[in-house]
Structure 1
């Protein structure tokens, strides 16, 4: 089987120490996590991990099954890149002097649909949202004129299929009322 990129969503209760248990599932299998983002989910009191990995489909199935065995993990799902809508955010700190008398920087910002967040005497902070290759391309162009700092978030993703967690929780509720 060929390796491909998968986005795994893990829904959990929000307890301390859970992050290390989730990450250990990947570490034990020597699988590199390419991106990891955590946040609240659309359900109250349920936390969401969004994890990007490059593995075979067989391996991602095993990972999801192992994740679901963890205490406090409610449910885990995996998706191909075609099944999710995703973005990343990147921030760039560039020297203020590169902006003085330079239309090139203005054109660069417009070309990459970036925006200026902060202007300070020594530096300017720019923001770019997009896919990894887009934020990296902007970084490489800024490297040519000077850059102090660069940081990129992990993937933030919404799945195209309706959220399976809601259906799963409804099924659990029905099971509990029937017993």
Structure 2
């Protein structure tokens, strides 16, 4: 199972190297990694996706807390949260009809065209990981030249609303 870990660390040189080294020594793979400044100056938030059962994630958490500069480790996999990724796609594009079709498909996904070349179109997509997979599938028939993805970033929802749970519920229709 894939787990989303949110790790707060002191923003100092070598912290990410020590974390990556910990994972490498233990034989764990980091599937996605995003790092950036947190809400407090001098603190960074690392959002990582790792595979493993609950026992492995517990072991990883304990090992992370042993590292200096690690302030907080939270497994937010089962916690209601907001998750987003950023992706840039460079797509083959020959002719105005193809260009129009790609732009129309991009708009369906609320993506933005950020560059137009003679034979390519570059699209920026922001959303949850499922959206990324879906737009890749739709646009792959044109030929994707390059993909750059940020990895997932996530914050817990203060409202406590679990959107994944809501997606599985049947919609009520209003009675007028």
- Give the alignment's TM-score, normalised by structure 2: 0.80
How far does residue 151 in structure 1 lie from its aligned partner after superposition? Answer: 1.4
Could you report, residue by residue, the CA deviation over 1:80-126 in whole angstroms, capped at 9, with x for unpaired residues? 1543210111101123425x124432331122221111223342210
Stretch moving more, 132-141 or 54-63: 132-141
Which consecutive residues of structure 1, in runs of 5 or more, have no partner in the other structure? Answer: 163-179
Of 39, 44, 49, the residue aligned with 2:41 is 44
Instruction: Give the 3-state SS of the residue equivalent to 1:148 in structure 2.
Output: strand
Where do 4+ consecutive residues of structure 1 move more than 6 Å? none
Q: Distance in 2 between matches of 1:101 and 1:144?
A: 15
Q: Which residue of 1 aligns with 2:97?
A: 101
Which protein is richer in helix relative to its size? 1
CA contact (8 A) 1:5 1:81 kept: no
Instruction: Give the 3-state SS of the residue equivalent to 1:97 in structure 2.
Output: coil
Q: Distance in 2 between matches of 1:36 and 1:110?
A: 28
Aligned length: 158
Q: Distance in 2 between matches of 1:150 and 1:12?
A: 29
Instruction: Give the 3-state SS of the residue equivalent to 1:42 in structure 2.
Output: coil
Q: Distance in 1 between matches of 2:44 and 2:152?
A: 16
Which consecutive residues of structure 2, in runs of 5 or more, have no partner in the other structure? Answer: 160-176
- Give the alignment's TM-score, normalised by structure 1: 0.79
Q: Distance in 1 between matches of 2:132 and 2:93?
A: 20
Q: Distance in 2 between matches of 1:101 and 1:134?
A: 25
Q: Distance in 1 between matches of 2:46 and 2:141?
A: 35
Q: Which residue of 2 aligns with 1:172?
A: none
Q: Which residue of 1 aligns with 2:123?
A: 126
Instruction: Give the 3-state SS of the residue equivalent to 2:144 in structure 1.
Output: coil
Taking only aligned residues, the RMSD between alpha carbons, in angstroms, comes to 1.9
Q: Which residue of 2 aligns with 1:7?
A: 4
CA contact (8 A) 2:91 2:146 kept: yes
Of 46, 54, 61, the residue aligned with 2:58 is 61
CA contact (8 A) 2:103 2:113 kept: no
Instruction: Give the 3-state SS of the residue equivalent to 1:109 in structure 2.
Output: helix
